[in-house]
Structure formats: structure tokens, C-alpha cells
Amino acid sequence: MTDYVVGDIQGCLPPLERLLARVHFSPDRDLLWSVGDIVNRGPACLDTLRFLYERRDNLRLVLGNHDLHLLAARTGARKLSPSDTLEPILRARDSDRLLDWLQEQPLLRRAGDDLFVHAGIPPQWDSTTAEDRAREVAAALTGPDCDRFFGHMYGNRPATWADDLTDWPRLRLITNFLTRMRYCAADGTLDLENKGPPDADSEDAPFRPWFRHPHRLAAGERVIFGHWAALGGDTGDERFVGLDTGCVWGGELTFFNLDSGERLGERCGD
């Protein structure tokens, strides 16, 4: 049995199919993990969602910000923007079946000492805390108030965690940590504006890549994540495995062999 992890697919189905063929992926034997953002911006979002749904028994998915945006759009909490490519999903005859399944997916998964998350784990949480916080959002997504959650999900505030945060601001900040974070301060205070690559000066800057803070509490696990295309898959530290290599922006879709650490890539247009 081999475990593979795929980076941000964002509706780029052909490279996903080619990667599965290259590794001779077998549903009897292998597992595919996804670090989220399976849809949006790319060309074949409905086909991608159907493809993954049909293979759900061999799939372990965590939700990304674009997946949550799709679920929010279904409720009417957020209108689609001109750059969204999600409309065919919302109009599809099997839309509810696909999206009901998507909405049951968590924001964080663990396999042994590997953590799978779309954006990252902030420095102020150990892994058990991060799992507990992720479960709070999962409970909201699968609970009776799920539509109201989407109405309160958007926004960059609060930016700083406090254990006594409650209600929607608490759930919004947990969601922002796990699905949107790139740069944060040592206490986890988020900077959600900067999407660029880390520069050479960032070692002294208060806002650093979330994985570059020296006193991270989740220090015993390997974190496998996506979301940050400008990293180009390179964190400089093998304990942090970045898999968003910007397929939808002309880069590659990346497969990562969880056991060997081998990487494979396929371009969307190849």
C-alpha cells in the first residue's frame, strides 16, 4: 500500500489523471490524500469534483479556502466573482450529492506523525490543540447552523488568537489559520495580505512564514500542506512539505509519495 498526496488541483483534472496513471495507482492498494483546493480558477472543476467523489473510498481530503468558498456560494452567503469557475458545479444535477459529501470533509487530518492541512498550523497550537480547533469548525459545517457559518466565515478579523474567543469570530479565525494562513507573527497574529514568497529579510521580520517560527508548539509532526503557490513547493525544511506548485497558474500539479518523499509533477497544459 502506498500513500500519495496531491497538491492544489483547482480543477486541473488531466494532470491528476496522468499522475495517477504514472504511479499505477490501485484502488485495491493505494490511498490518495489531498491538501485541499480541489476546485476553482481552473477549467474542469465539475469533472474534478465528480472524479474525486467517485474515488472517495480511496481519498482522504481536507478542505481548502476555495472548497469552502464553493460551499458558501451554494448557500447564497457569497456571490461568485468573475474569476471563479464554480458555476457549473452549482448548476449540476448532482450538485447536492457532491457538495453534501464535500461539506463533511475536515480541515485537518492525521496519519501517525503526519498532519494534513490546507494552509498550515499556527505556532501557538500544538497538534492536539489544532485537531480540537479543526473539529470545532467541522461540527459547525455539519451542524444545524451550517448555512449561518458561511455567512460569518469571510473576513480577516480577528487576527490574533485568544482562548476565550467565542462564536463566529472564533470559528472564522480557526478557519483562517487552517485554510488561508501564509505569514504570521510568533503569537500567531495573521497577515493575510502578503501572498508573496519569503524574502531574505524575513528571519528578522515579525511576520514570517508560519513554519519559520522557532518556538512552534506542533514540533513533533511533519506538516503537509498546499495553498502557497509562491513557495514553489520549497519550504527549506523537510518537516514542512509544501505541495502547491501553482498548476492552475502554469506550474505543475505535484504528487508526493508519503513514504519515500519522492515528488512527481505534471503540467495542466501538457
* Contact yes or no for 84/45 (Cβ under 8 A): no
- Cβ nearer to Mn ion, comparing 37 with 266: 37
Nearer to Mn ion, 25 or 210 (CB): 210
Q: Please, which residue, 25 or 44, has the CB nearer to Mn ion? A: 44
Tell me the residue nearest to Mn ion as measured from the CB: 227
- Tell me whether residue 25 or residue 172 sits nearer to Mn ion (CB atom): 172
- CB 217 to Mn ion: min, Å: 23
Closer to Mn ion by Cβ: residue 41 or 212: 41
CB 121 within 8 A of CB 191: no
CA distance 235 to 241: 7
Residue 124 or 175: the one with the smaller Cβ distance to Mn ion is 175
CB of 118 to Mn ion, least distance (A): 6
Residues that bind Mn ion (CB under 5 A): 37, 64-65, 227
Work out how close the CB of 116 gets to Mn ion at its nearest, in angstroms, rounded to a whole number.
14
Share in percent of the chain as helix, strand, coil (round to 5)? 35, 15, 45
CA distance 261 to 6: 12
**CB of residue 59 to Mn ion, shortest distance in Å:** 18
User: Least Å distance between CB 193 and Mn ion?
Assistant: 15
What is the amino acid identity at position 229? A
Q: How far is the CB of 12 from Mn ion (least distance, A)?
A: 14
Strands annotated E in the chain: 3-6, 31-34, 59-61, 108-111, 114-117, 183-184, 190-191, 208-209, 222-225, 240-242, 252-257, 263-267
Which three three-digit cell numbers place residue 220?
513533533
Distances (CA, A) of 122 to 39, 186, 206: 24, 9, 14
